[in-house]
Amino acid sequence: MNPYTAYTYAYPHKTAYRPIQRTDNAPLPLTTVWANEPRDNLFLYIHIPFCEMRCGFCNLFTTANPAQSFTQRYLDALWRQAEVVRAALPDATIAQVAIGGGTPTYLDVDELARVLAIAEDIFAVDLATVPVSVETSPQTATPERLALLREHGVDRISIGVQSFVQIELNGIGRSQRNPIVERALNNMRGFPTRNIDLIYGNPHQTEASWLASLRHALAFAPEQLYLYPLYVRPLTGMDKMQQAWNDQRLSQYQCGRDFLLANGYRQQTMRHFERVDHVPQANAHYSCQEDGMIGLGCGARSYTRSLHYSSEYAVGRSSVRDILHDWVKRDFQHVDYGFVLDEDEQQRRYLLKSLLSAEGLDGEKFVARFGVDPAKQFPQLLELTDYIQRHGAHWRLTEKGLAWSDGVGPAFYSERVRELSAEFALS
């Protein structure tokens, strides 16, 4: 098993999405998609596909420094889409909100306020009463923007620092300087949950420099840290540079994990670490395994029980630009691109969203939902004994399993998803 096969943050990945084909060739109305879906506990995700620069490792759906006129066109279309979705789901209740990208704080204060108003005015969300997360960057985490987020009840702010060592930043295409990062981290004080993203496996990184970045991060006592292994993706800047290096990701993962566990953090997933004295705001009724998601914006996914859908996916600059320029012209009344989940795919998604967290897979809940024993459906649970162990009714990753999550997750992908992703022509 390859420990770095794929990051399973969602199943399936958008490389498995395709144009939706109906037998009558008629477009699929949004109202039909959500007609029989529970709507009382939904996640609202708003995508801002803009950044001040494109990092060398980034494969997110985003573009750097768009023209101001296009930013306004995008926000106009985003508002229009929100109104169409709300009309189709008039009784939708939002349990959690996230604004991601890209970099949402790339927008100025007035533009950012307009995005927050989508949740507040169109979907009637009191942002002070539900978990709300917003992504930021060192260059855009200004006092004015962060003050606006605090005023509207945002409780979690997440910043991509990646490293505090300049040569490592240069190697992954980041132009930031530590004084800018430290100013941003100081500006972030006062949010209930502050998250710092760091990357290991950098070609210029050593164990000593990795620990130096971790110590630097902990000087700000963040409530959360996400430690990401570096992947070199097709069509990203680092892929084009064709750099090669001795992959030390497993040893650096272990080094980082041991350091955080020894310094007051607990591990939630392979990537996610939480300060032991921190209790994040959460909606006890929301379940990512069970509940749906409304995705707004070009590149955002939406989830129902049997259909995941979004706009088309790309990474290359020209392809992202073309998709964006097409998206702002849409009427958003229909769904035309996505992935239909049959019973087997729904079971795989439920298993993956559960198993890859510290809580693990509750076999009794799986049986209650699907009427079958997960071990009978997925013999991998019994075969991958170095990575997965049973504890009563629960299946949990071992210490090695957590480290190898990016190999364990793909072991449960269906053949259909593997084939579709392999056939996907990334542009």
188-232 pLDDT per residue, tens: 999 999 999 999 988 789 999 999 999 999 999 999 999 999 987
**Confidence band of 2 (pLDDT split at 50, 70, 90):** confident
CB-CB contact of 190 with 221 (8 Å): no
Amino acid type, 90: P
Question: For residue 314, what pLDDT is reported?
Answer: 85
* Pair of tokens at residue 268: 């939630």
Give, rounded to a whole angstrom, the gap between the first and last alpha carbons of the chain.
28
Of 230, 300, 295, 215, nearest to 260 by C-alpha is 215
* CB-count exposure of residue 240 (10 Å: 0-12, 13-18, 19+): exposed
Backbone angles phi, psi at 295, to 5 degrees: -105, 125
215 CB contacts (<8 Å, ≥6 apart)? Answer: none
Extents of the domains making up the chain? 14-275, 343-417
Task: Please calculate the CA angle 150-155-160 and round it to the nearest 5 degrees.
Answer: 95
pTM of the full structure: 0.94
Looking only at the bridges linking them, the beta strands covering 224-229 and 272-275 are antiparallel
* Pair of tokens at residue 129: 């009463």
**Confidence band of 318 (pLDDT split at 50, 70, 90):** confident
Q: Check residue 132 and report its DSSP letter.
A: E
* pLDDT above 60 for 244: no
- Residue 100 Cα to chain centre, angstroms: 8
Report the CATH fold assignment for 343-417. Answer: Arc Repressor Mutant, subunit A (1.10.10)
* pLDDT above 50 for 240: no
Q: Which CATH class for the 14-275 domain?
A: alpha beta
Handedness of CA 21, 25, 29, 34 (dihedral sign): negative
